[in-house]
Amino acid sequence: MIGARSWVIAAIAAAGLWAGWHADLDPRALVPSAGGLQVAREFFARALSPALTYESTTAVPGASPLLVKALGAAHQTLLFAGAAVSLALAIGLPLGFLSSTVWWEGDPAGGEGRLTRVLRRTLAPLVYAFARTLATVMRSVHELLWAVIFLAAFGMSHLAAVVAIAVPFGGTFAKVFSELLDEAPRDTAAALRAAGASPLQVVVFGVLPRAQSDMTAYAFYRFECALRSSAVLGFFGYPTLGYYLAASFENLHYGEVWTYLYVLLLLIAAADWWSGTFRRSFAA
Amino acid sequence: MSGAEREREVRRLRRERPRRRFARFSGWALASLAVYCWLAGDFRLDLLDERRLANLRRFLGELVPYPLREGFDLRVAWEWTVGLLSQRGLEAAITTLAIAVAAICLAGLVASGLSLAAARNLTTPEAFLQDPVPPPRWVRGAGLGVVYATRALLVLLRSIPEYIWAFLLISVIGPSAWPAVLALAIHNAGILGKLGGEVVENLETRPLSALRALGATRSQIVVTAIFPMALSRFLLFFFYRWETCVREATVLGMLGIVSLGYWIQDARARTQYDTMIFLVALGVALVLVGDLLSAVARRVVRDA
């Protein structure tokens, strides 16, 4: 008797083989050409000696030192990420609430009127379905694709870059928050309703607090993701870490590339540590 | 109870409520960070000035497929769609899917090994059971050293975004599908390794201790107990990460790898915005198909 899990593993293996064949993944192509090998050797030779000053011999007069520039880029990366996540939360919280069932299914606010009941049966499922569809479309387009679309639509604008990250992140927040709200225990809400609380009170004091810690922990994790996305936006001309990294790599200044990589690494490792400690402080 | 007494009691309960200092501090820090970012960043509300609005209007006009700009005709629309799909859309979509599948398979293989090394309860010299004679301190230190070295490696792998990994790898291995596959595999191995390590650490220890007491070696415990016990959870993470791989594989094409992103970038460079939006929509369809497949697979795993 072969279990379902064995079938899943067999299917994964078959899919992997098909993928390797279809994408033409010849292991021999992994051996770099002489030029590639040269690049790799020079690049990794600098791994342990990142540049502390500019490698360019023709220094631009008046330019700030490399480390100051790297920290400035990290600062910009942080600014884009923080603005994007806060905007995404502003989108994702209401959208997530609307795409959950807590506000309409199972008589959450105890509305007694005839009109309330009819509305709950007709309008509410429509709003719910619309919110879920909107969230799905928002998060199905990658933030870099949003950035490309906005670049074409508006031209270069820092705000457009922030919105480009905030749209898919808002959609993801909506999805995850709605699941957390749906899975949270409804005992407090039921007790409050029985005690005669208003719908708003039921939601604010009965529903939200039961899901709040998980929602905050998830927001932290997405902040870390936003830092990565914000760094990559630099490849599209925004002044975050990716911009300087790509420029240094193309000028063959590999030491500078490592400097930017290590700064990015530190930024993300710090966010990773913070969100991990935050989650553990709830688990304990 | 008098009113004043009750008031005092309420105040005492409020004072003695469980508080998590760190969580509270983090919440405030994050909120102030958000305010700071909006104040310090250069995010002027410049999206709606004259020039940009004109730009936006032109852009929206060009989203209409060009054979349909004179007037809508279903047959023409159909031919345009089929033409795009057969020229490059379908092939690019399938290649994108293949890149995502190959990458997650590689990542899963690498991560299953790394997650064992990252699990403290398995890598320590006294796995799951205390030895009658405790091992010397340096042996114990070496075990911890392996754990922390593995975890540092995992942080390194997952901290660098896929896009940057791919950018660096292209100039080393040249333009095939490999840079995209490797970039996705490296990043996701870091994530799956971390999550897998946590799965192993959170396993029920009694059966593992029993095996160890019977004299099983570490590799025997891994094969006979840890693998079957941890597999379901690991596969859930595996499929979740595959969903993101599909999204990312689309985008990595913008670096010059022949996935959907390549043609999206190409259409943008030629300012064929109708084609660009069509391919973005195709990417959305691909992501939705991926989500559906993953949801089915996760249900099978969960019910097994």
CATH number at residue A192: 1.10.3720.10
What confidence tier does B100 reach under pLDDT thresholds 50, 70, 90? very high
Task: With respect to residue A206, please indicate whether it lies within any of the assigned structural domains.
Answer: yes
Range of A221's domain?
Answer: 66-283
Residue A91 sits at the chain B interface (C-beta within 8 Å): no
Residue A223 sits at the chain B interface (C-beta within 8 Å): yes
pLDDT tens column, B117-142: 999 888 888 778 887 888 888 888 88
ipTM of the complex: 0.86
Q: Which residue of B has its CA nearest to A140?
A: B284
Residue A136 sits at the chain B interface (C-beta within 8 Å): yes
Domain B72-303, CATH number (from 3.30.1330.30, 3.30.70.580, 1.10.3720.10, 3.40.50.10800): 1.10.3720.10
pLDDT tens column, B80-98: 888 888 888 888 999 999 9
Q: Which residue of A has its CA nearest to B35?
A: A83
pLDDT score recorded for residue B300 = 85
Residue A111 sits at the chain B interface (C-beta within 8 Å): no
| Residue A157 one-letter amino acid | S
Taken in order B79, B80, B85, B86, the sign of the CA dihedral is positive
* Rounded average pLDDT over A273-284: 78
Question: B27 vs A16: CB contact, 8 Å cut-off?
Answer: no
Residues in A touching B40 (Cβ below 8 Å): 79
SS3 A238: coil
pLDDT score recorded for residue A279 = 80
pLDDT tens column, A16-69: 999 999 888 888 777 777 778 888 888 888 888 787 778 776 666 667 788 888
Is a pLDDT exceeding 80 seen at residue B20?
Answer: no
Both tokens of B290, joined, read: 């991926």
Residue A29 sits at the chain B interface (C-beta within 8 Å): yes
Q: Directed axis angle between helix A66-98 and helix B21-40, to 10°?
A: 110
User: Do residues B256 and B170 make contact, with C-beta atoms less than 8 angstroms apart?
Assistant: yes
pLDDT score recorded for residue A109 = 53
* A/B interface, count of CB pairs below 8 Å: 211
Residues in A touching B284 (Cβ below 8 Å): 137, 140-141
Question: B23 vs A278: CB contact, 8 Å cut-off?
Answer: yes
pLDDT tens column, B150-197: 999 999 899 899 999 999 998 888 888 899 999 999 999 999 999 999
| C-alpha pair distances (Å), A156 with each of A150, A192, B46, B85, B102 | 8, 50, 10, 30, 35
Q: Which residue of B has its CA nearest to A230?
A: B161
pLDDT score recorded for residue A112 = 62
Question: A79 vs B37: CB contact, 8 Å cut-off?
Answer: yes
Count of structural domains within chain A? 1
Most confident of A147-156, A269-278, B21-30, B179-188: B179-188
Q: How far apart are CA B94 and CA B246, in angstroms?
A: 11
pLDDT score recorded for residue A1 = 45
Is a pLDDT exceeding 60 seen at residue A110?
Answer: no
Residues in A touching B264 (Cβ below 8 Å): 145, 148
| Residue A245 one-letter amino acid | L
Closest CA to B232 of A9, A176, A15: A9
Q: Which of A80, A246, A282 sits opposite B167 (nearest CB)?
A: A246
Closest CA to B200 of B300, B119, B96, B268: B119
Task: With respect to residue A44, please indicate whether it lies within any of the assigned structural domains.
Answer: no
pLDDT tens column, B198-241: 999 888 889 888 998 898 888 899 998 898 888 888 998 999 99
What is the pTM for the complete model shown? 0.86
User: Do residues A194 and A244 make contact, with C-beta atoms less than 8 angstroms apart?
Assistant: no
Q: Which of A4, A19, A231 sits opposite B98 (nearest CB)?
A: A19
| C-alpha pair distances (Å), B248 with each of A36, A38, B26, B120, B167 | 24, 29, 30, 32, 13
Task: With respect to residue A96, please indicate whether it lies within any of the assigned structural domains.
Answer: yes
Question: B101 vs A43: CB contact, 8 Å cut-off?
Answer: no
Top residue of B43, B156, B286 to mutate, by most chain A CBs within 10 Å, is B43
Residue A149 sits at the chain B interface (C-beta within 8 Å): yes
Task: With respect to residue A5, please indicate whether it lies within any of the assigned structural domains.
Answer: no
Residue ranges per structural domain of chain B: 3-40, 72-303
d(CA B34, nearest CA chain A) in Å: 5
Q: Which of B164, B271, B284 sits opposite A141 (nearest CB)?
A: B284
Q: Which residue of B has its CA nearest to A153?
A: B56
Q: How far apart are CA A160 and CA B47, in angstroms?
A: 7
Task: With respect to residue A46, please indicate whether it lies within any of the assigned structural domains.
Answer: no
Mean pLDDT of all residues in chain B? Answer: 88
Residues in B touching A259 (Cβ below 8 Å): none
Q: Which DSSP symbol is given to A163?
A: H
Q: Which of A19, A151, A246 sits opposite B102 (nearest CB)?
A: A19
Distance in angstroms between the alpha carbons of the first and the last residue of chain A? 42
pLDDT score recorded for residue A60 = 66
Is a pLDDT exceeding 60 seen at residue A107?
Answer: no
d(CA A162, nearest CA chain B) in Å: 8
| Residue B279 one-letter amino acid | L
Q: Which DSSP symbol is given to B203?
A: S
Token look-up 């993470």 returns B237
Q: How far apart are CA B103 and CA B180, in angstroms?
A: 8
Task: With respect to residue A113, please indicate whether it lies within any of the assigned structural domains.
Answer: yes
CA A55 to chain CA centroid, Å, is 34
What confidence tier does A167 reach under pLDDT thresholds 50, 70, 90? very high
